[in-house]
């Protein structure tokens, strides 16, 4: 356990086994963020990697004030897991790929009008609901590859004979507009808790969390509709947010920047688009600031990927993975940026968390089809 926990000071640590790649710039960003006024504790997860000024894959606990810039522009970004009714035995990959390739990136207006919750009809960002967005967001049909803890798996209620669907997306342009409004007025300074400005931000932040949750549900409904099935939500978590919290006997504010909350019975920690994902049971601990990794974490910067890979792989080759899964991504730049090679090994991330006693692994998932962009815009 001790070998996987690296203390940079009494209040700053990151979790990583010897097999986990952690970039020095990410550690530097972790230390710099820890020096912000009123920052009390900082913890990096095994998927820690550099971000724009602040590291991704980390949790930050402050007192007296909180930092919207730490939450970032995609407030409420998270993951929703659906149990579908589609039987694995009925899957025809060619047919499913064709059906999903016909889905437009943006939800058609008439479909949205029929499926939006009443309170969202007049929302200024209603038109973006049901759409995945760019970057590392995706929707992926998956199958149970291996059950690791039979007891916990039985308690989960998951049917291993049927497809699962994992949706990773957030608050789209809404989160961006909230952060922009904040930084134009305050820059990267934190907000003193319980002030009018702080309460105004938190109200907008909480609205973005609701928006992101609705967005993932609508994405899931669109994806399942394309392959003529339906399903139910069995897990939903946000990994970009700030919330009041008590840690180490102090009342304060817990920020998660690409970190999964640990207070759920079951969560998914996904690998890259050509790697396994894992269903795990979190074990709540102050060591990790009540948080878990949110994925494998980037190994290469986006700007490096095409140069590293284009002489070795065509976009078509990258649309097929070593696990036999397929990737729908008509954006040639994005398919290089999100290639499996640009991410860390998910096994090293899971190994780190198991060694520290922060998760119990329930099952391993295998990707079937990953949807990122069809290139067809509604």
CA–CA gap between residue 174 and residue 138 (Å, rounded): 18
Concerning whether 294 is annotated as a catalytic residue, the answer is yes
CA–CA gap between residue 349 and residue 260 (Å, rounded): 13
Would you call 129 helix, strand, or coil by DSSP? coil
CA–CA gap between residue 60 and residue 240 (Å, rounded): 11
Q: Answer yes or no: are the C-beta atoms of 48 and 55 closer than 8 Å.
A: yes
CA–CA gap between residue 313 and residue 131 (Å, rounded): 28
Q: Which of 47, 153, 138 is nearest to 325 (CA)?
A: 138
List 121, 123, 294, 311, catalytic entry: 294
Give the DSSP per-residue string, 364-376.
EEEEEEEEEE-S-
User: Residue 134 gets which letter from DSSP?
Assistant: S
User: Residue 369 gets which letter from DSSP?
Assistant: E
β-strands 65-66, 12-15 pairing: unpaired
What is the sign of the dihedral through the CA atoms of 151, 357, 272 and 102? positive
**The token pair that represents 309 in the structure block:** 């890979």
**The token pair that represents 373 in the structure block:** 């962009």
Q: Which residues are catalytic?
A: 294
């Amino acid at each position: 356990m001790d070998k996987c926990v690296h203390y940079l000071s009494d209040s700053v640590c990151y979790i990583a086994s010897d097999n986990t790649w952690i970039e020095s710039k990410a550690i530097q960003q972790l230390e710099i963020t820890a020096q912000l006024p009123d920052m009390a504790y900082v913890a990096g997860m095994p998927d820690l990697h550099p971000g724009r000024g602040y590291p991704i894959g980390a949790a930050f606990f402050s007192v007296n004030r909180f930092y919207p810039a730490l939450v970032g522009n995609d407030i409420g970004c998270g993951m929703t897991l659906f149990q579908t009714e589609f039987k694995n035995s009925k899957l025809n990959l060619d047919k499913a790929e064709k059906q999903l390739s016909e889905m437009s990136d943006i939800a058609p207006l008439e479909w949205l009008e029929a499926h939006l919750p009443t309170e969202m009809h007049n929302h200024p960002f209603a038109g973006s609901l049901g759409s995945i967005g760019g970057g590392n967001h995706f929707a992926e049909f998956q199958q149970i590859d291996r059950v690791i803890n039979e007891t916990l798996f039985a308690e989960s209620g998951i049917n291993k004979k049927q497809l699962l669907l994992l949706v990773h997306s957030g608050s789209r342009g809404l989160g961006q507009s909230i952060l922009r409004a904040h930084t134009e007025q305050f820059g990267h300074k934190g907000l003193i808790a319980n002030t009018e400005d702080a309460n105004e931000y938190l109200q907008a932040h909480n609205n973005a969390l609701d928006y992101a949750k609705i967005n993932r549900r609508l994405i899931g409904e669109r994806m399942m509709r394309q392959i003529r099935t339906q399903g139910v939500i069995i897990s939903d978590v946000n990994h970009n947010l700030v919330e009041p919290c008590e840690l180490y006997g102090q009342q304060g504010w817990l920020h998660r920047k690409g970190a999964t909350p640990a207070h759920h019975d079951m969560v998914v920690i996904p690998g890259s688009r050509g790697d396994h994902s894992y269903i795990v049971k979190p074990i709540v601990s102050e060591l990790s600031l009540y948080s878990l990794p949110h994925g494998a974490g980037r190994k290469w910067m986006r700007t490096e990927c095409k140069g590293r890979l284009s002489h070795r792989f065509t976009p078509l080759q990258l649309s097929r993975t070593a696990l036999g899964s397929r990737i729908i991504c008509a954006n040639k730049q994005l398919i290089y940026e999100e290639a499996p090679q640009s991410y860390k090994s998910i096994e090293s991330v899971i190994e780190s968390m198991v060694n520290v006693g922060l998760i119990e692994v329930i099952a391993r998932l295998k990707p079937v089809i990953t949807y990122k962009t069809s290139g067809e815009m509604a």
